Amino acid sequence: MPLSRELGLTTTMLLVVGQVIAVGIFLTPAAMVRDLVAPVWVLAVWVLMGGMAVCGALVFGELASRYPQAGGVYVYLRQAWGPRVAFLYGWKCFLVMDPGLTAALAAGLTSYLPYVVAVGPREQLGAGIAVIVGLALVNIAGVRLGARVMALLSVAKLALLAFVILAGVLAPSGDWGHFVPLMHRPADAPPIVGALAGAIVSAFFSFGGWWEAGRMAGEVRDAQRILPRAFVGGLAIITACYALMTGLVTYAIPPERITSSAAFIAELGATIFGDGGARVLAAVVRAGMLAATFAAGAYLFCTPEAFERTGGFDETLFATEELTLSRALRKVGPVVILREPVLTSGRKARTHGFRELWAPIWLILRYGPSALRDRAHMSLWYGHRRKDPR
């Protein structure tokens, strides 16, 4: 049965934007400003990557015009390399990539809940499942309803972003003098080649996901005409958002004060909204980072009295116990997010290989939450202490 072609240009463009812009829009510009220092270099990277993404969008737009069918990359691989390659790609998306990304995004969304209401891990898990099921039902109900909901979410995201940028520009603590000099980099700045390479890689990943809109070609009205415009228009909006956020970062905070992601977020929140804003913005972004990294890894500092009142660490857990402790500490008293960076030892990175460092994640994916309660599965932390080569 042919799909109903009901998506127009505006809706498709908003879906492209919604696929790309996420929490990274706060963190990537900060790292680029810190390393490149000179505003012209930062803007040049965004323009370069935006132009490269538009080149890719023109290619995908041409492919969508030639093969206006639902499936996107699957269809293009099938036409270019045959059904076997497309078959493998399709099942990889169905079994691995799409379920994993969906679960990660749902976990990121529900990890905001403890900052709003008092909920535990079970409630967060239930909320995440409910979000996935709810959005699935919305899309099952019809293309028009699903597109409207997704477009509304994208508009809300852009509106909140615009509010943060406008509030930052109007904040009295910012300084337009941070844009001067435009091109000069101080002598103690990181080497330009390495800084540019890191910035380009970060910007490249910040644009990831726009091509997924090609999967909806079978549901777009006049796909040959609309999809190329939606790709290019959506990427133009995305590039503008990243450039504006970079301008806000430069205006609000001098590069020498951007020492780490956590410190920057607290600093930006305080500059725009005051001390309360520092806590809110840091909490939101850290919650989003939790979904992207699949781990907490946070430092917790508390008094002995507060530690005793919470009952201490959950001794049934061999990982993520800091999450349960942090929730308990929030009930005991106020929690403050430090602006100062706190450094830790990189010993495990030097004493363990790549596969060993990632092993706990694969074990959790395989055995589920029960892996967190098995000391043998968490040998990265509880195994034999190795000699540091340094």
Q: What is the pLDDT of residues 49-67, one digit of tens each?
A: 888 888 888 888 888 778 8
**pLDDT higher than 80, residue 255:** no
Four-point Cα dihedral 328, 330, 333, 337, nearest 10: 130
Question: Do residues 265 and 282 make contact, with C-beta atoms less than 8 angstroms apart?
Answer: yes
Residue 22: predicted pLDDT? 66
Residue 274: predicted pLDDT? 65
* Most confidently predicted of 68-72, 252-256, 296-300: 68-72
Q: What is the mean pLDDT of residues 167-193?
A: 74
Residue 4: predicted pLDDT? 65
Say how far apart CA 264 and CA 250 lie, in whole Å. Answer: 12
Asked if CATH classification 2.60.120.10 holds for the domain at 9-258, the reply, yes or no, is no
Residue 312: predicted pLDDT? 82
Question: Do residues 87 and 108 make contact, with C-beta atoms less than 8 angstroms apart?
Answer: no
Residue 279: predicted pLDDT? 57
Say how far apart CA 239 and CA 231 lie, in whole Å. Answer: 12
Q: What is the largest CA-CA distance in the chain?
A: 68
Residue 41: predicted pLDDT? 86
pLDDT per residue as tens digits for the range 119-133: 777 877 888 888 888
DSSP-assigned beta bridge partners for residue 204:
none
All structural domains of the chain with their residue ranges: 9-258
Scan for tokens 């309803």, then name that residue: 145
Please name the residues in contact with 348: beta carbons below 8 A apart, sequence gap of 6 or more: 357, 380
Please name the residues in contact with 116: beta carbons below 8 A apart, sequence gap of 6 or more: none
Q: Which tokens sit at 159?
A: 């509106």
Scan for tokens 């959005």, then name that residue: 135
Of 153-157, 273-277, 296-300, the range with the lowest mean pLDDT is 296-300
Residue 24: predicted pLDDT? 62
Question: Do residues 287 and 111 make contact, with C-beta atoms less than 8 angstroms apart?
Answer: yes
